[in-house]
């Protein structure tokens, strides 16, 4: 090695081309090696790769390269989640076509990804806005329709009257459209839905099999699905009608003292000609929906004058319209049991309704007065006629049994999960492949007419959905009767695009969405890596699509992602002068504890360390960093220090440290001396231990620990004198870093005279005999403190250790003549002397 510095600016590109030319990372599904499908959540082509992407894809890349070294056939693909609103926003602001904007972003971002040297199979790349992709999606959608999983019904949307468009909930800010600032209206539109609720039970039960998912994500999904079991029954009302209610606490039925219905409940709507009732209903609708407002919102009600007859006591209970009852959960009506439900308690207190105890800690406490809040805990039923003395669970079962045998109610399961509304009144998405015919109603587009492609000549100058306004696009003929008809102008929610892309990566026939034989080879994804922000929607939808497609016979896969990993964010300090605009790190110079602007020299306030974001301007552009330090230093930084599930604070000194280490390794590799001889048992042992430990760390995604071990082995190898053992250690390090710093590894590998790519090399073998030490250090404690350490042969007997420990001068000094009452010896670990 003549040059003693590693030059990423020449090496990185050279090796990237070498991998590309050799097709090193092209997955071969016919291989008989064990298969590993490693996937990171594909990016939205916003324009630039950011550090969060780099961290995400580096982790996946290390796994992919490592698995390959372990002899697996690896599928590690990349593509683009390319439909979505930002493209339409760009179209409006910059007067560019959403497609053109998206395509150029993809091109730029692909180049950025390639500069980082990711081991990706680019032959399988696609964008969800490719007509082939969304055409197959339309076919799958039609199959799901045929399978009874798609339906249409009228549903409320947020309507922006100025932009003439439907807004997503996140686009409604304080009740106003985010762009127009206009007061948002509720409108009823006919919308398409997917029957995800048919799978609620399966999706919930399936979570139990996802052992390699974070508990947190499983729990979030569980809560989102929100299964609850109870009783649905009807009260007879004084006006002759029936009022169905749902309760999870049928055991407390004798404590009911009122009924409450939602403001948009049909019974409430019937009262709308009463001005006082109408005014109250109006007030309920106006109520804010922010967290703070809900928390402080007072329970309010309107007495309808109607009464409900208690099924057991026959008592007449008032029926209120109440602001805390939701129409879209249960039946939109509840029985109020103030003693044992906090909301009911507050309501009853305000309106002076009876608060009866029906659950107590024991029977003797039946008449204990209620406190200042409801008691929702367990106990024994009291003041409840035939239920008295039963446990809560027994009483629940008893009431449900009586309701069912008496025919006035039944045990029911209620879900929080709603069907998935997938209609979007937007241009840049998958057209929903249906035709509205005046004669034949709704007709699916015949499969041989797919894809239904988006028109290119669209206009974003006028408000509203461009597909709706397009002069010709929607006009077509009915496939059934041949008469004039109109295309559906709604497009699919972009979450549908990401609900099956992993299947398309695994196999890409031209004439079908996927090939079941290929799916069987690759699925499920072995490691799926992405941000926690997708813990609920994306992951639930992808699980649902996989089950739905299995259900209609497309293949046999229950869960798409065997293991899920949610990585932390990349964070950075924030900067601003007083209340001024945020400053980017490039606009600030740090001097000791303080920071100043580059130009004026004003002191800058160093703010909280938060996720890198455009709005706070605390971003660092990966391109600049790669240009300065090379891809390997950046990759190494992404893996070092912070555990991968936690946030990673970006620091300039950190990346410099990584760059120094790249150079340090380069010098170490340069010291490889094929002619060296002799054994260095300690170093050899360390190297073998590291080979095993780093592999374990990578498999557990403990990249920060793997990094630390490599530092340790490198330091030991640097200090050692040349020997065969040292050569082994150096070659071991070269292979251990290959998944993490692949360019450096290839370059050094080549300089050592190897002609093959290290990307194709095997993980180093280890000698199990060298994993165990023959000497161990024993800690000697007295009074819970370390007093001395002993170096002894491994496996020394308890008696030997005890004698050695008591013989220690330091121990004797600490004992100071005290009587030894007990000696605890843990072989190969420690001796603890108790006095």
- Binding to RNA by residue 216, rule CB under 7 A? yes
Q: Does 416 bind RNA (CB under 7 A)?
A: yes
Nearer Cβ to RNA (614/667): 667
**95 or 286: whose CB is closer to RNA?**
286
Name which of 297 and 316 has its Cβ closer to RNA: 297
Please, which residue, 481 or 715, has the CB nearer to RNA?
715
324 contacts RNA (rule: CB under 7 A): yes
Q: Does 793 bind RNA (CB under 7 A)?
A: no
Decide if residue 786 touches RNA (CB under 7 A): yes
320/434 with CB nearer RNA: 320
171 is an interface residue for RNA by CB under 7 A: no
What is the CB neighbour count within 10 angstroms for residue 258? 24
Verify binding: residue 411, RNA, rule CB under 7 A: no
Which two tokens mark 221?
């999904």
Q: Could you tell me the CA-to-CA distances from 689 to 667, 686, 707, 733 in Å, in that order?
A: 23, 5, 14, 12
- Per CB under 7 A, which region of 114-122, 129-137, 320-328, 459-467 contacts RNA? 320-328
The DSSP line for 247-300 is: ES-GGGGGG--EEEE-TTSHHHHHGGGSHHHHHHHHHHHHS--SHHHHHHPPP-
Two structure tokens written together for 612: 């890198």
Q: Is 781 in the site for RNA (CB under 7 A)?
A: yes
681: helix, coil or strand? Answer: helix
Q: Give me the 268-287 binding string for RNA, x by CB under 7 A, dash otherwise.
A: -------------------x
Do the beta carbons of residue 566 and residue 535 sit within 8 Å? yes
In whole angstroms, how close is the CB of 70 to RNA at the nearest point? 22
By C-alpha distance, which of 32, 28, 126 is closest to 74? 28
- Tell the burial category of 579 from Cβ atoms under 10 Å away from its Cβ (0-12, 13-18, 19+): exposed
The least CB distance from residue 164 to RNA, in Å, is 28
Taking every pair of Cα atoms in the chain, the longest distance, rounded to a whole number of angstroms, is 108
Closest distance of CB 220 from RNA, Å: 5
Dist CA 224 CA 221 (whole Å): 5
Helix, strand, coil percentages in the chain from 3-state DSSP, rounded to 5: 40, 20, 35
- How far is Cα 184 from Cα 186, in angstroms, rounded to an integer? 7
Nearer to RNA, 511 or 591 (CB): 591
Q: Which residues ranging from 86 to 145 are in contact with RNA (CB under 7 A)?
A: none
Which parts of 699-728 interact with RNA (CB under 7 A)?
A: 702, 704-705, 707-708, 711-712, 715, 718-719
Among 320, 428, 661, 728, binds RNA (CB under 7 A): 661
Pair 433, 142: CB distance under 8 Å: yes
Q: Where are the alpha helices (DSSP H) in 535-586?
A: 537-551
Q: State in angstroms the smallest separation of the CB of 700 from RNA.
A: 9
Interface pick for RNA out of 147, 531, 657, 670 (rule CB under 7 A): 657
- Closest to RNA by CB, 85 vs 536, is 536
SS3 215: helix
**HEC profile for 99-155?**
HHHHHHHHHHHHHHHHHCCCCCEHHHCCECCCHHHHHHHHHHHHHHHHCCCEEEEEE
Contact between 246 and RNA per CB under 7 A:
yes
Q: Which of 40, 341, 573, 746 binds RNA (CB under 7 A)?
A: 341
Interface residue with RNA among 648, 684, 687, 720 (CB under 7 A) is 648
646 binds RNA, rule: CB under 7 A: yes
Question: Binding segment for RNA among 192-200, 341-349, 549-557, 798-806 (CB under 7 A)?
Answer: 341-349
Our CB check for RNA shows the closer of 94 and 785 to be: 785
Indicate whether 826 belongs to the interface with RNA (CB under 7 A): yes
Helices and strands, number each (H, E), in the chain: 25, 38
Q: Let me know: does 398 contact 387? Beta carbons within 8 Å.
A: yes
Q: Residue 568 Cβ, how far from RNA at the closest point, in Å?
A: 8
**Cβ neighbours of residue 473 under 8 Å, at least 6 residues apart?**
455, 467, 487
Q: Which pair of structure tokens corresponds to residue 52? A: 């969060």
Stretch that binds RNA, among 456-464, 595-603, 614-622, 645-653 (CB under 7 A): 645-653
Residues touching RNA, count (CB under 7 A) = 85
- The smaller minimum CB distance to RNA, of residues 17 and 285, is found at 285
532 or 751: whose CB is closer to RNA? 532
CB of 483 to RNA, least distance (A): 44
Among the listed ranges 90-98, 137-145, 220-228, 543-551, the one in contact with RNA (CB under 7 A) is: 220-228
Nearer to RNA, 6 or 66 (CB): 6
Answer whether 741's CB lies under 8 Å from 703's CB: no
Sequence-separated (6 or more) residues with CB below 8 Å from residue 624: none
Q: How far is the CB of 579 from RNA (least distance, A)?
A: 20
Of the candidate residues 789, 795, 798, 818, the single one contacting RNA (CB under 7 A): 789
In the complex with RNA, the residue whose CB is nearer, 363 or 824, is: 824
Residues 289-308 that bind RNA (CB under 7 A): 291, 294-295, 297, 299
Q: Does 628 sit behind a cis peptide bond, omega within 30 degrees of 0 on the bond before it?
A: no
Return the residue of 326, 586, 682, 771 that touches RNA, per CB under 7 A: 326
Report the nearest approach of RNA to the CB of residue 600 (Å). Answer: 25
Q: Say if CB 689 and CB 732 are below 8 A apart.
A: no
Could you identify the residue written with the tokens 């106006």?
A: 286
By C-alpha distance, which of 763, 803, 829 is closest to 62? Answer: 763
**Residue from 330, 451, 560, 585 binding RNA (CB under 7 A):** 330
- Written as one string, the DSSP assignment of 144-202 is HHHTT-EEEEEEEEEEETTTTEEE-GGGEETTEETTT-PBPEEEEEEEEEE-GGGGHHH
Q: If binding is defined by CB under 7 A, does position 830 make contact with RNA? A: yes
Which DSSP symbol is given to 10? H
Candidates 56-64, 102-110, 309-317, 637-645; binding stretch for RNA (CB under 7 A) = 637-645
**Beta-bridge partners for 233:** 245, 409
Assigned token pair, 484: 């004039």
Which residues 675-704 are close enough to bind RNA by CB under 7 A? 702, 704
Of 104-112, 137-145, 576-584, 781-789, the segment contacting RNA by CB under 7 A is 781-789
Smallest distance from RNA to CB 791, Å: 9
CA 591 to chain CA mean position, Å: 38
Q: How far is the CB of 435 from RNA (least distance, A)?
A: 35
Complex with RNA: residue 402 or 470, whichever CB lies closer: 402
Of 491 and 814, nearer to RNA (C-beta) is: 814
Q: How far is CA 500 from CA 154, 364, 426, 524, 570, in A?
A: 27, 60, 21, 12, 28
Question: Least distance (Å) from RNA to the CB of residue 660?
Answer: 4
Nearest approach in angstroms of CB 109 to RNA is: 25
**CA-based angle 636:595:659, to the nearest 5?**
20
489-548: which residues touch RNA (CB under 7 A)? 532, 535-536
Q: How far is the CB of 794 from RNA (least distance, A)?
A: 12
By CB under 7 A, is residue 653 in contact with RNA? yes
């Amino acid at each position: 090695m003549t040059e003693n510095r590693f030059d990423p600016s020449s090496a990185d590109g050279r090796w990237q081309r070498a991998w590309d030319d050799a097709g090193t990372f092209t997955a071969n599904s016919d291989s008989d090696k064990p298969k590993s499908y490693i996937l990171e959540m594909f990016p939205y082509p916003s324009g630039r790769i950011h550090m969060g992407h780099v961290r995400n894809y580096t982790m996946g890349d290390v796994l992919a390269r490592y698995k390959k070294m372990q002899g697996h056939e690896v599928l590690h693909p990349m593509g683009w989640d390319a439909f979505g609103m930002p493209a339409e926003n760009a179209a409006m602001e910059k007067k560019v076509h959403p497609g053109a904007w998206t395509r150029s972003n993809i091109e730029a971002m692909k180049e950025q990804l390639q500069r980082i040297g990711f081991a990706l199979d680019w032959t399988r790349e696609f964008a969800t806005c490719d007509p082939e992709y969304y055409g197959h999606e339309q076919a799958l959608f039609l199959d799901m329709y045929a399978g009874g999983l798609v339906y249409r019904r009228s549903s409320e949307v947020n309507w922006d009257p100025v932009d003439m468009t439907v807004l997503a909930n996140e686009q409604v800010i304080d009740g106003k459209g985010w762009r127009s600032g206009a007061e948002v209206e509720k409108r009823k539109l006919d919308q398409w839905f997917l029957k995800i609720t048919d799978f609620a039970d399966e999706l919930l039960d399936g979570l139990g099999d996802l052992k390699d998912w974070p508990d947190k994500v499983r729990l979030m999904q569980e809560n989102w699905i929100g299964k609850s079991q109870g009783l649905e029954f009807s009260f007879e009302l004084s006006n002759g009608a029936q009022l169905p209610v749902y309760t999870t606490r049928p055991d407390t039925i004798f404590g009911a003292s009122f009924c409450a219905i939602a403001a948009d409940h049909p019974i409430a709507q019937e009262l709308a000609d009463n001005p006082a009732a109408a005014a109250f209903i109006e007030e309920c609708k106006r109520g804010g929906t922010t967290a703070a407002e809900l928390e402080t919102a007072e329970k309010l009600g309107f007495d309808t004058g109607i009464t409900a007859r208690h099924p057991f006591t026959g008592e007449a209970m008032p029926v209120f319209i109440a602001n805390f009852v939701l129409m879209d959960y249960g039946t939109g009506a509840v029985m109020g049991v103030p003693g044992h439900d906090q909301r009911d308690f507050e309501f009853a207190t305000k309106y002076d309704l009876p608060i009866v105890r029906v659950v107590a800690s024991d029977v003797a406490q039946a008449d204990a007065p209620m406190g200042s809040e409801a008691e929702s805990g367990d106990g024994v039923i009291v003041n409840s006629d035939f239920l008295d003395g039963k446990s809560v669970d027994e009483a629940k079962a008893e009431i449900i049994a009586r309701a069912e045998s008496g025919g006035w109610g039944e045990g029911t399961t209620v879900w929080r999960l709603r069907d998935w509304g997938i209609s979007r009144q937007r241009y840049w998405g998958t057209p929903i492949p249906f035709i509205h015919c005046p004669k034949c109603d709704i007709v699916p587009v015949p499969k041989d007419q797919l894809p239904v492609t988006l028109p290119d000549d669209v206009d974003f100058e006028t408000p509203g959905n461009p597909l709706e306004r397009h002069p010709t696009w929607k006009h077509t003929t009915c496939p059934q009767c041949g008469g004039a008809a109109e295309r559906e102008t709604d497009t699919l929610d972009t979450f549908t695009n990401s609900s099956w892309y992993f299947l398309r990566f695994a196999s890409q026939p031209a004439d079908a969405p996927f090939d079941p034989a290929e799916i069987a080879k690759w699925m499920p994804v072995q490691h799926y890596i992405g941000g926690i922000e997708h813990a609920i929607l994306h992951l639930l939808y992808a699980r649902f699509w996989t089950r739905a497609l299995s259900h209609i016979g497309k293949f046999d896969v229950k869960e798409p992602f065997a293991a899920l990993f949610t990585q932390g964010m990349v964070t950075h300090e924030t900067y601003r002068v007083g209340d001024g605009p945020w400053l980017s790190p490039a606009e600030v110079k740090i001097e000791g504890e303080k920071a100043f602007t580059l130009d004026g020299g004003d002191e800058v306030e160093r703010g909280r360390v938060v996720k890198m974001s455009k709005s706070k301007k605390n971003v660092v552009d990966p391109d600049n960093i790669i240009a300065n330090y090379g891809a390997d230093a950046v990759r190494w930084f992404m893996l070092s220090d912070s555990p991968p599930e936690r946030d990673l604070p970006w620091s300039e000194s950190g990346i410099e440290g990584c760059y120094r280490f790249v150079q340090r390794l380069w010098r170490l590799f340069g010291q490889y001396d094929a002619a060296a001889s002799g054994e260095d048992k300690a170093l050899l042992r360390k190297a073998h231990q590291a080979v095993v430990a780093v592999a374990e760390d990578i498999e557990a995604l403990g990249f920060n620990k793997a990094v630390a071990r490599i530092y340790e082995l490198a330091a030991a190898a640097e200090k050692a004198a040349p020997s065969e053992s040292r050569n082994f250690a150096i070659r071991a390090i070269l292979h251990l870093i290959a998944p993490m710093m692949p360019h450096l590894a290839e370059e050094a590998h080549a300089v050592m005279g190897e002609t093959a790519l290290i990307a194709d090399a095997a993980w180093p073998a280890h000698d199990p005999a060298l994993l165990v030490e023959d000497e161990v250090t024993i800690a000697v404690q007295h009074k819970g403190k370390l007093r001395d350490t002993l170096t002894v042969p491994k496996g020394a007997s308890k008696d030997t250790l005890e004698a050695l420990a008591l013989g220690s001068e330091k121990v004797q000094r600490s004992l100071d003549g005290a009587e030894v009452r007990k000696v605890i010896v843990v072989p190969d670990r420690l001796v603890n002397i108790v006095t």
